[in-house]
Amino acid sequence: MNTSPSGAIFLDSSAILHYLTGDPQARDVIEEAQRLAVNSIVYSEVAFNLLKLLYTKKYGQYKFYDMKSRIAMFDHDILDGYTILQDFLGELLRENRLLYLPITLEVVREASNIAIKYGLLPNDALIAATCKHYGISVIATFDEDFVRIPWLKVVP
């Protein structure tokens, strides 16, 4: 596999979450792409949101500190979110289709400029800066904020 990020589709957390919850548009993009890329921001966002989904499924209304306490008490119904994410990423890695892109100091510096110029929250700015830094021009996302980024084509 070509390990150059150029030509890869960056997977935003929203695309992964939509895929894991059965969205056919997300499935088509992820299953048809030859190369995909993520960074640590995406891992963190997906992991947190999976934990939150599993918590609300079991306990109803989301309560951050209660969820945090239940995780600390090793509530495996919630902690399964990590396994779900690891299985998803592991499959892509076994297929040699996933690139993990580090967030460098250059990316962090660029993210601040991008956040200010395009009105983004920090995580989205770090994702946009990662794409710019590594020459990625396509992002799979359901987040409309990325439409404002001129070097990114949003799919689906």
Taking residues 87-111, report their average pLDDT: 97
> Which CATH number is correct for 9-155, 3.40.50.150, 3.40.50.1370, 3.40.50.1360, 3.40.50.1010?
3.40.50.1010
Characterize the bridge pairing of strands 36-38 and 138-140.
unpaired
Nearest to 36 by CA among 2, 67, 66: 2
Domain-by-domain residue ranges, the chain? 9-155
Determine if residue 103 is left, alpha or beta; phi over 0 gives left, psi from -120 to 50 gives alpha, anything else beta: beta
pLDDT tens, residue by residue, 18-66: 999 999 999 999 999 999 999 999 999 999 999 999 999 999 999 999 9
Enter the pTM of the model.
Answer: 0.94
